[in-house]
């Protein structure tokens, strides 16, 4: 159908979603050498580049440019240095390429926290640069649970174009507010075992967002308390599936002491969300009758908005454009999942008791029983 250029491509989440609908990756660029190995293996016909800064131009045949640009300076887990940070600031190279000529449609993704860090300075910067190039734009916070994946992952998706109306891409689908079921231990409960004092990250019959604990790529996988009392952490293969990739997508010989797979998968764009976006770029719909209001220059950036020649507007859209029912996290459980260690269980219980947060009935008791079964008097 059309050619796509993938900038900051990671392991190809955007590109796999677009490829499923016939949008062939033409050029893929990422600084991470391990990501490039995955891209070269999985998209063998694409030209793989080491750095967006090295590109001389965007090929004229590229109708769409995807850009899941680095989030390290924009996320809650990062250094919060913002859009000018050493990693997230790399997005400037996209605009340098656009200033050279050509106006492909853009599909951009990043973390939800970018809307709040520095009162949304990152979004303000993106919008300023897009409008200077003549782009109309729209963005929407989207939750991957909307696409049948039991991972509660909220991300900002932004579409900018000079040839189509971005509102007809992002606001043509609406499934309503995210249900808030009462968590109970009769169903699996996902949580961040590294927290407990100030936050929980509880997810009923799913997991909270996959994330990377540090720039070293140390895994910080969630844990799941299952109804049978087991407290398990997913394998990297299960996490690939929870991002919409085939299991084994990143299973290559990287010849490193610490596997880079965890960080690559944790940083990836969710494939089902990318596929939805590709579908709407192919066949835009009519913008639904959603409530809108002018966005003042002093206001905080909302969860959904658009901008064109008539001004900037808030859109009261939910984070669920689709209503595909996610399967139980039980369907992702297999022999590759590992029990959370006694040390980790003890640490979590200690923090939970100190913090005073309210947990689902029986949750901490079940964690204590899991710890007792592991015989905590023995070293891990």
The full DSSP string for 86-140 is TTGGGGHHHHHHHHTS---EEEEEEEGGGGTGGGTHHHHHHHHHHHHTT-EEEEE
What would the two tokens of residue 135 be? 């782009």
- Rounded Cα gap, residues 200 and 357, in angstroms: 8
pLDDT reported for residue 241: 98
Instruction: Give kind and range of the element (H or E) at residue 17.
Output: helix 13-19
pLDDT reported for residue 1: 61
Tens of each residue's pLDDT in the chain, 380 residues: 679 999 999 999 999 999 999 999 999 999 999 999 999 999 999 999 999 999 999 999 999 999 998 787 777 777 677 777 767 877 899 999 999 989 999 999 999 999 998 898 899 999 999 999 999 999 999 999 999 999 999 999 999 999 999 999 999 999 998 777 777 899 999 999 988 777 778 999 999 999 875 444 455 789 999 999 999 999 999 999 999 999 999 999 888 878 899 999 999 999 999 999 999 999 999 999 999 999 998 888 999 999 999 999 999 999 999 999 999 999 999 999 999 999 999 999 999 988 888 899 999 999 999 999 986 565 55
Rg from Cα positions in the chain = 21
Tell me how far apart the terminal alpha carbons of the chain are, to the nearest angstrom.
Answer: 54
The full DSSP string for 170-239 is HSS----SPP-PPP-TTS-EEE-TT--SS----EETSB----BSSTT--B---EEE-TTS-EEE--HHHH
Q: Which of 106, 160, 121, 118 is nearest to 138 (CA)?
A: 160
- Rounded Cα gap, residues 34 and 266, in angstroms: 14
**Which residues, at least 6 apart from 17, have a Cβ–Cβ distance to it below 8 Å?**
244, 269, 271, 272, 273, 274, 275, 276, 277, 278
Angle formed by the axes of helices 342-355 and 363-373, nearest 10°: 150
What would the two tokens of residue 93 be? 């190279």
Domains parsed from the chain with CATH numbers: 2-178+268-315 (3.40.50.150), 189-265+326-373 (no CATH)
pLDDT reported for residue 283: 96
**Which residues, at least 6 apart from 185, have a Cβ–Cβ distance to it below 8 Å?**
225, 227, 360, 361, 362, 363, 366
pLDDT reported for residue 216: 46
Q: Report, as residue numbers or ranges, the catalytic residues.
A: 71
C-alpha distance from residue 349 to each of 165, 200, 277, 342, 346 (Å): 51, 12, 41, 10, 5
Q: Strand 292-294: give its sheet, edge to edge.
A: 47-49, 23-29, 2-7, 62-67, 105-111, 154-161, 136-143, 304-308, 311-315, 292-294
């Amino acid at each position: 159908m059309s050619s796509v250029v993938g900038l900051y491509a990671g392991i190809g989440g955007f590109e796999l979603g677009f490829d499923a609908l016939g949008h062939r990756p033409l050029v893929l660029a990422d600084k991470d050498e391990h990501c490039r190995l995955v891209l070269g293996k999985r998209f063998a016909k694409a030209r793989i580049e080491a750095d967006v800064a090295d590109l001389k131009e965007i090929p004229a045949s590229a109708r769409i440019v995807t850009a899941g640009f680095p989030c390290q300076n924009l996320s809650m887990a990062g250094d919060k240095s913002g859009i000018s940070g050493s990693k997230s600031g790399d997005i400037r190279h996209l605009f340098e390429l656009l200033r050279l000529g050509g106006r492909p449609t853009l599909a951009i993704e990043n973390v939800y926290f970018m809307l709040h860090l520095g009162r949304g300075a990152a979004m303000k910067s993106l919008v300023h640069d897009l409008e200077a190039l003549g782009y109309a734009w729209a963005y929407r916070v989207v939750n991957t649970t909307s696409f049948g994946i039991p991972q509660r992952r909220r991300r900002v998706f932004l579409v900018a174009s000079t040839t189509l109306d971005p509102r007809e891409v992002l606001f043509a689908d609406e499934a309503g507010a995210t249900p808030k079921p009462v968590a109970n231990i009769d169903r699996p409960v996902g949580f961040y075992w590294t927290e407990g004092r100030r936050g929980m990250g509880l997810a009923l019959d799913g997991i909270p967002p996959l994330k990377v604990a540090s720039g070293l790529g140390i895994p910080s996988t969630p844990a799941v308390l299952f109804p049978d009392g087991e407290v398990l952490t997913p394998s990297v293969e299960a996490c690939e599936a929870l991002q919409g990739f085939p299991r084994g997508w990143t299973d290559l010989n990287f010849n490193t002491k610490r596997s880079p797979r965890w960080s690559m998968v944790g940083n990836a764009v969710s494939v089902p969300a990318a596929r939805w976006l590709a579908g709407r770029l192919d066949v835009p719909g009519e913008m639904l009758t959603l409530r809108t209001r002018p966005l003042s220059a002093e206001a905080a950036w909302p969860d959904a908005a658009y901008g064109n020649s008539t001004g900037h507007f808030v859109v009261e859209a939910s984070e669920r454009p689709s209503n595909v029912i996610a399967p139980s996290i039980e369907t992702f459980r297999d022999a590759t999942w590992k029990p959370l260690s006694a040390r980790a269980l003890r640490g979590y219980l200690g923090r939970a008791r100190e913090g005073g947060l309210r947990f689902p009935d029986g949750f901490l008791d079940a964690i204590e029983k899991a710890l007792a079964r592991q015989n905590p008097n023995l070293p891990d």
